[in-house]
């Protein structure tokens, strides 16, 4: 079973069982963001976590094996057409250089890791309409001189 087939099986089981990503993640004692990403094929799961997910979703062992496989992280289009994902591209276009400049000013020459990384997505109540809060937390990795 490949990653796209795995994701299709997971999404079908999630819908059939009426579970949310938060509920699935809670059953695994993992983050909803990371759990969703792994189920969509962009991260791999440890064997025990993959097996537990398959128990929760009543899926066969072949799904567990696909969850454990290292992903090939790729994007299939230069600029996505999905409006929500496109807005992230827009944010990076508008604020990317600002983010880079401020990180370099605070930490020096380096990058924020997307490997040693966590993310939290939450709802913030606002009288003018609820807001989406996204917190990205990545380890700073300085560039080396040699």
- At a CB cut-off of 8 Å and minimum separation 6, what does 15 contact? none
77 within a domain of the structure (yes/no): no
64 and 92 together in one domain? no
78 within a domain of the structure (yes/no): no
Residue 119 structural domain: 83-142
Query: Above 80 in pLDDT, residue 100?
Result: yes
**Residue 16 a catalytic site member:** no
Q: What's the pLDDT at 44? A: 95
- Please give the biggest Cα pair distance in the chain: 55
pTM: 0.79
**Residue 113 a catalytic site member:** yes
**Which one of 5, 16, 62, 90 is the catalytic residue?**
90
Q: What's the pLDDT at 8? A: 97
Residues 142 and 112: their CA atoms lie apart, in Å, by 9
Mean of the pLDDT values across residues 63-78? 86
Mean of the pLDDT values across residues 7-14? 97
**Which one of 20, 113, 118, 131 is the catalytic residue?**
113
Residue 15 sits in a domain whose CATH number is 1.10.260.40
Query: What are the start-end ranges of the H helices in the chain?
Result: 3-17, 21-28, 32-39, 47-57, 61-68, 83-107
Mean of the pLDDT values across residues 83-97? 87
Could you give the percent of the chain with pLDDT greater than 70? 97
How many domains does the chain contain in total?
A: 2
Q: Is residue 91 within 8 Å of 62, Cβ to Cβ? A: no
């Amino acid at each position: 079973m490949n990653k796209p087939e795995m994701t299709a099986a997971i999404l079908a089981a999630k819908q059939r069982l009426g579970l949310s990503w938060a509920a699935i993640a809670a059953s695994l004692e993992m983050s909803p963001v990371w759990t969703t990403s792994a189920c969509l094929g962009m991260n791999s799961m440890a064997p025990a976590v993959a097996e537990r997910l398959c128990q929760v979703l009543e899926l066969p062992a072949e799904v567990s094996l696909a969850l454990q496989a290292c992903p090939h992280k790729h994007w299939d289009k230069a600029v996505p057409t999905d409006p929500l994902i496109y807005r992230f591209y827009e944010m990076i276009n508008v604020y990317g250089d600002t983010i880079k400049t401020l990180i370099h000013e605070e930490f020096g020459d380096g990058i924020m890791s997307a490997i040693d990384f966590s993310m939290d997505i939450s709802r913030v109540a606002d009288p003018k309409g609820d807001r989406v809060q996204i917190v990205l937390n990545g380890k700073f990795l300085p560039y080396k001189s040699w």
